[in-house]
Structures are given as C-alpha cells and as structure tokens.
Structure 1
Amino acid sequence: MSTSSDSKTIAVLNGPNLNLLGTRQPEIYGRQTLADIEAMCVKHSKSKGFDLRFQQTNIEGELVSMVQEARTCAAVLINAAGYTHTSVALLDALLTVDAPVIEVHLSSPHKREAIRHRSVIAPACTGVIAGFGALSYRLALDAAIALVDGSLGITEG
C-alpha cells in the first residue's frame, strides 16, 4: 500500500478468486498469477509517475470497504470478478468515487455465460477494458492515467 499522496496513487482492487490466478481455469484467465500482474502494474505505474495500491479480497464487504478507502485516489481500477454481475452494494460504493473508475476483466464477459453479460457496476464506471488477459490491467492503467492527466482528450461521463 502506498503512503504517498493519493493524488498520484491509483487503486487496483480485485475481487473473489483472483488470488487463484495462474492455476484456476488457465485456459480462460491465463497462467500469470495475481502477483505477476501486480508486479507488472507497479512497474508500469512507476514509469508513469504514479504509485499503486493493489489489493484483493474474496469477501464482498471488504471489497466495498476497499472502494470507500480508495475514494481519495487519483483513479480506481476494479476487477470485481463475480461481484461485477451481482453486487448492488459494490455499485453503491463505486458511485461515491469522484475519480475515474475503470472496470477490468481478464476474459471477455460477453464471450462467456449469459449471466456474465451484464455488469451491475458499469453505471459507476468511466469505461471497461476486457478480454486481453493480464494486459487488460496495463491498458486500464494507461486509460486511467490519461484521464487523470487530461491527455485522453475526454472527460468522464
């Protein structure tokens, strides 16, 4: 967890079962572990002048608390995993975040089971990046940084 100013900190929040990356359904999620993804994100964000707050939980209430704690960060990336499709509590927490929020998925939800086609949290998110495996996180970091520094040429909403 970063101790520097939150104005240069991006929170990367991860939901249930992502702690099993690398071994859980590698044909869908790839062989990289969550630690591998964290290392990639830390290196990339540092190269762009940002710190990272990278967290994971399997518990819905803890993920809601992590969102609340990230409200002062420059941006929030969230892979809510299964909670993406079910958690109104998570949506409510994300709606309190004034910074850019990027929904991230390793796989493409629209290529999977019908239950995964709808994101309950999407109304609170600036955008979604999905289907690129671990690269989805790096692409989401780039989008968040561009939104924070204004280089994307668009504003939220």
Structure 2
Amino acid sequence: MSLGSAFQTLCGALFEDSMTLVCSAVVPESLTKKYRNRMISPRDPYSIYQLDSINSSYLLVFHFEDMPDCRTIQLTDMHNLNCTSHTGEEKNLYFGYSHRMCYNYTLDLTTELKHHCGARGYEENMQSGYYYTNHDPNPDIRSDVSGGSLLGSPTLVICLIVSLLLIALLHWKTSRL
C-alpha cells in the first residue's frame, strides 16, 4: 500500500466533509526540538482545521503560508483541496509533491500546536492528518510527464550535444591509433 493510499484509507473521513479553520501560527523552535519531526522546521507556517462532522479529527497543513486565508477547506483528492476564503471566494489549491501522514490516536504534537496558536476549548484530537505541502502554482504540470515533452527540453538538447561531442572525440582518438 502506498503512502498516499494509506493516508486516504486511514484518514478517509477528512475527504468526506468540509473542515473549518481553528487557528494558524508558525512552528516554535521548542516543539521542533522536543518532537524531532524532520518534516517541520522552526518558523514553518501551519494551519489547523477541524472536521465539521467529527470534532475530534483535525488536519494540520504545514509549509503553506496562505492557508489562513481559507476559512473552510474540503479535500477533493490527495493533491487538491477546495478553499473558501473569509470573503466567500472559492479556489482550488493544488499540492502535487506533498507528504501526508495520518494518525488515528491522540497526538501530543497536535495538542501542543493547537495551544501554541491559541486554540482553547476544542475537543481533544483522536485523529490527526498531517499535510506537509509543496504548493505547485500550475496544476497543469503533473509528475506523470510524457516523454514527448521531455524531448523538447533544453536539458535533453544539452545532453545530446555532449554525447555527440564525446562520440566524435572517441572516434577521432581511435582513428589516430
């Protein structure tokens, strides 16, 4: 089972309903030292969302500083989420190369991040989805690029020229022997 499908299976409820913003902040250095989570660094932005239908389920979105602009979100698949801003504007956010983890038990890091950003009076977390984003502003460019687009790339042209020069050099050396 791939990590992506494991996240979708374990955190399936996060794909079924919308989530509302709880709070946002930046990760304090004390928590990165305490938990030694290699996916986050001090001062990384994070936002916490609570699942509307299950108050003990949370999604923590790391590394994307514009997430606080989303009042509510809805995961549509592993890479896309719909964002509704505080003004009611809707937009799709695409995170093509993100890393996701799901925890179906109480996580102290979630609790401490909630307290750090000022969330008080919320239900204890029984499920935490951690979404480490890598925002791609162009969702039309996907990781499953075909060979046709690679043929026109400047890198391939340079490699071809270098290869031809090496062949010519080897041919010249063998003809001198």
TM over 0.5: no
TM-score normalized by the length of structure 2 = 0.22
Higher helix share: 1
**Higher RCO, 1 vs 2 (CA within 8 Å, ≥6 residues apart):** 1
Higher strand share: 2
